Structure 1
Amino acid sequence: MLLLDIKNLTIELNTADGLVRAVDRVNLSLREGETRGLVGESGSGKSLVAKAIVGVLNKRWQISADRFNWRGQDMLSLPYEQQRKIIGRDIAMIYQEPSRSLDPTAHILEQLEEAIPDHLLDGPWWKRGYLRRRKAIGLLHKVGIRDHQSVLQSYPFQLSEGVCQKIMIAMAIAKNPKLLIADEPTTALESTTQAQLFRLLASFNQLKGMSVLLISHELESIARYTQSLSVLYCGQLVEAGETAAILKQPYHPYTHALIKSVPEFQPNLQPKTPLYALPGSIPVLQHLPIGCRLGPRCPNARKECVKTPTLERLQNHFYSCHFPLTGAKEP
């Protein structure tokens, strides 16, 4: 059963220059117990998609979708309060820059206890304070923080970014969500701490069956921890499928460029060889290309690319390109 099923998600931003389509008909699905990666350059709309799932977008932004189902239930047809109840119960999100997401005026203990729902406290009401504190300590131990006493009595600014990120994860898993969304969870962290956090998220998926949506602009960081992958470019879904299949045979030129730019995926790369990179940069929202938004940077671009390509399917591999790479179909 699909846990999350989104078809043709579109997000338009109301600017001084009119409506700007920041996310253009993106499809995204997640099965129960699945770990999916959402990858793309900064500015590709990854965070907007995540915020649309948890319903925290600006009210001035216009959101539409042909289908937006959570566990088979149409979320768009529900009243706002009922949507918030379902999302608050089943979905949790870890934001970028954890030290800025935490309340700087409150101790960690206070913030962590606030994240624990009452129905998870098994005991009489007069022991709620004690039970809540024990639960908070247990959550810190789960995310690898052993010195809980000093951490609980600290303010966020007194702790490192790595510890703050672990606290954000502890707050996110406090309600046992069915879906955990991690939006760039390792930004500005050193490599050893990044690996610890990714292994921590993978353990929740394996031990608790928690679905995880990993969002990052670094393909090599999430490829080894995900079963499936969706690639975004400038608000458009360019490729999606099983991670291993995409890494072995990408069909879209942008996905191919991402893979070629990572030395880890190029075992035959000679020392001091320049890394591959697409020319140009991702366009700003006010000046988006028509049709395929990769067109001005794409080495395979032709005149047909001024029309937006449709999403094609080859078994469980999806791609959106008029002229896919060898293995998909003949141009």
Structure 2
Amino acid sequence: MPLLDIKNLTLEIDTPLGLVKALDKINLSIDSREVRALVGESGSGKSLVVKSIVGALSDRWQVTADRMNWKGQDLLSMSDSQRRAITRSEISVVLQNPATALDPSATLREQIEESIADSQLDKGWFWQRRQQRREMAAQQLHKVGIRDHDLCLASYPHQVAEDIAQKFALAMALVSNPKLLIADNPTMGMEPTTKVQVLRLLAKLNKTRELSILFVSHDLLAISAMADTMTVLYCGQTVESGKMSQLKRRPLHPYTKALLDSAPSFRRDLPPKAALSCLDGTIPTLQHLPIGCRLGPRCPRAQKECVKMPDVRRIHDHHYACHFPLHRDKT
């Protein structure tokens, strides 16, 4: 049984023009010790998927799903307190903009020590437990590359640089020893040396502590080094998912191929100083979504049938939603 199992997740947002589907039948599952990448260009709905999992959405937005389970328990039927308890102890999140996620009225020391549960501490007097919290906080900051922990912990969120805030948010997410880490662009703004250090830390935790990771990022090179499986989103829809090695070698959806071709690291045949390939056009707005396949207006393989929503098809563990997939003359 997977840790997280989502089927047909739909998110509708109320706009002056009526309800629009920001997410349309998203499918996602994460097993124990799995590292799954969630990729797609800006506006594809990656952050909305993350917020839907942890329940950080507006009450005015309508969230439905055929199945949205955590260890077999239905997340949508839980109360807010039950969802918060799971998020506190078992699911940790690093949001895309840590500066706005942190409490501006509390020091970083107060925030990270509050994240350390009493069950993680040894028995003792209250001053001994307080000292344990301080030592654990300092150790966690060192692991993510923050050397001057005293200065960092004494600061407020607005007093530290953006990259330090990003590292601190990651340390705060890992300090509770979660079962699942949802990392929304965790290395954004970091220098290359620190980025490698953070990725090695996550890979080590995945192997030694059996930490499952949902890795949301635009960095395809980091994703290819970290992820076992990958789910590709476009405009709020799941277009393809499967093993990372299989998707890199033989993508079936035109959008997946365009996404991989846009990264020079995956183009061995790319001549020096050659122009990078990209799809024409831009991702549509929620108020002007195309009928049927949402990639249709930009897809080089689009035909008349694309005005209908494509069914999700499966080849072993490889899922795709396309009327005219690559490498397959007959569908």
Confirm or deny a common fold (TM above 0.5).
yes
The aligned residue for residue 245 of structure 1 is: 246
Cα distance in 2 between the residues matched to 1:79 and 1:155: 32
- CA drift at 1:125: 4.0
Cα distance in 2 between the residues matched to 1:157 and 1:14: 33
- CA drift at 1:116: 1.0
1:119 partner letter:
S
Superposed counterparts of 1:69-218, under 5 Å: 69-126=69-126, 127-218=128-219
Q: Where does structure 2 lack aligned partners over 5 or more consecutive residues?
A: none
The aligned residue for residue 292 of structure 2 is: 291
2:307 partner letter:
V
- Residues 29 and 49 (structure 1), Cα distance of their counterparts in 2 relative to 1, 3 Å cut: same
| Residues 178, 210 of structure 1: 8 Å contact kept | yes
The aligned residue for residue 305 of structure 2 is: 304
**CA offsets 1:157-197 (integer angstroms, 9 cap, x no match):** 33332222121111111211111001112233333333333
- CA drift at 1:268: 1.6
- Residues 187 and 138 (structure 1), Cα distance of their counterparts in 2 relative to 1, 3 Å cut: closer
- CA drift at 1:145: 2.6
Cα distance in 1 between the residues matched to 2:70 and 2:133: 30
- Residues 188 and 142 (structure 1), Cα distance of their counterparts in 2 relative to 1, 3 Å cut: closer
- Residues 98 and 83 (structure 1), Cα distance of their counterparts in 2 relative to 1, 3 Å cut: closer
- CA drift at 1:204: 1.9
Cα distance in 1 between the residues matched to 2:78 and 2:299: 41
The aligned residue for residue 19 of structure 1 is: 19
SS in 1 for 2:3: strand
2:41 partner letter:
E
The aligned residue for residue 281 of structure 1 is: 282
| Residues 123, 131 of structure 1: 8 Å contact kept | no
The alignment's TM-score, normalised by the length of structure 1, stands at 0.95
**CA offsets 1:290-330 (integer angstroms, 9 cap, x no match):** 11000000000011001111111001111000110014x61
Cα distance in 2 between the residues matched to 1:2 and 1:130: 37
Cα distance in 2 between the residues matched to 1:53 and 1:13: 16
| Residues 180, 213 of structure 2: 8 Å contact kept | yes
Q: Which runs of structure 1 show a deviation greater than 4 angstroms over 4 or more consecutive aligned residues?
A: none
The aligned residue for residue 317 of structure 1 is: 318
The alignment's TM-score, normalised by the length of structure 2, stands at 0.95
State yes or no: 1:65 paired with 2:65: yes
1:306 partner letter:
V
SS in 2 for 1:224: helix
1:274 partner letter:
A
**CA offsets 1:246-302 (integer angstroms, 9 cap, x no match):** 000000000010111111111121112111100000001100001100000000001
What percent of counterpart residues are identical? 53
SS in 2 for 1:77: coil
Cα distance in 2 between the residues matched to 1:275 and 1:226: 24
RMSD, aligned α-carbons = 1.6
| Residues 2, 31 of structure 2: 8 Å contact kept | yes
